[in-house]
Chains A and B, each alone.
Chain A
């Protein structure tokens, strides 16, 4: 039973660049959520996708956008990167209406913006 996978594992970008992170949900799951975790802090919710639509969004600027594909995988795009975007980006998947919609996380992508 495949868990949540994310790619790439690490990424280095410079200010102003754009980045795309990818996530494949756990087998059988239909919902993907993205979180940003700065060093030494708890994760912060960016947004959640279900049925290829953004279902809910956290307090993040429009530079952060996403997409969900028909196979339930998802992308997180960040434009005009800032130094403060350096963080661990976590993807989580869940199944609507099941198991209290418990979110299962992937290993994360570590983004460093120079």
Chain B
């Protein structure tokens, strides 16, 4: 079964507007971590933001925020005030059982194109 589901293959957003990227996950482990990465066309995977399963507050990092809804098993990424440089592929990833499972499981990704 897919552990990470990203249902939006591609999205267009106007410069300076906000965009929300959907991510749902599947795990029965109470301890897990959720990550978002940005991958420009150059290929490097850039870490954006992290949310732990026990974190009480939603994570924020500059223009990035994570809308964590534990009961719904969703971890949507919100990018505020979009910039042309935000055009890239975005991946949601999960690490389960943080004490004995070290791998990241990735979704299929969402392509974001920012229009001027």
Contact = CB atoms under 8 A, between A and B. Distances in A.
A107 B47 contact: no
Given A100-B33, A100-B52, A107-B42, A45 B103 contact: yes
Interface in A54-113: 55-56, 58, 88, 90, 92, 100-108, 110
Contacts of B106: 42-44
A56 B105 CA distance: 13
Contacts of A107: 42-44
A110 B104 CA distance: 20
Consensus secondary structure, chain A interface: strand
Given A42-B91, A42-B109, A103 B43 contact: no
Q: Bin chain A's interface residue count.
A: 20 to 34
Q: Bin chain B's interface residue count.
A: 20 to 34
Contacts, number: 62
A24 interface: no
Contacts of A105: 37, 44-47
Contact of A110 (B43, B91, B105): B43
B76 to A, nearest CB: 17
Contacts of B105: 45
A44 B107 CA distance: 10
Interface string B13-56: 00000000000000000000101010000111111001010000
Contacts of A35: 104
Contact of B108 (A42, A55, A106): A42
B50 A55 contact: no
20 contacts: A35-B104, A42-B106, A42-B107, A43-B45, A43-B104, A45-B105, A48-B103, A55-B102, A56-B102, A56-B103, A88-B43, A90-B43, A101-B95, A101-B102, A102-B35, A102-B47, A104-B47, A105-B47, A108-B43, A108-B44
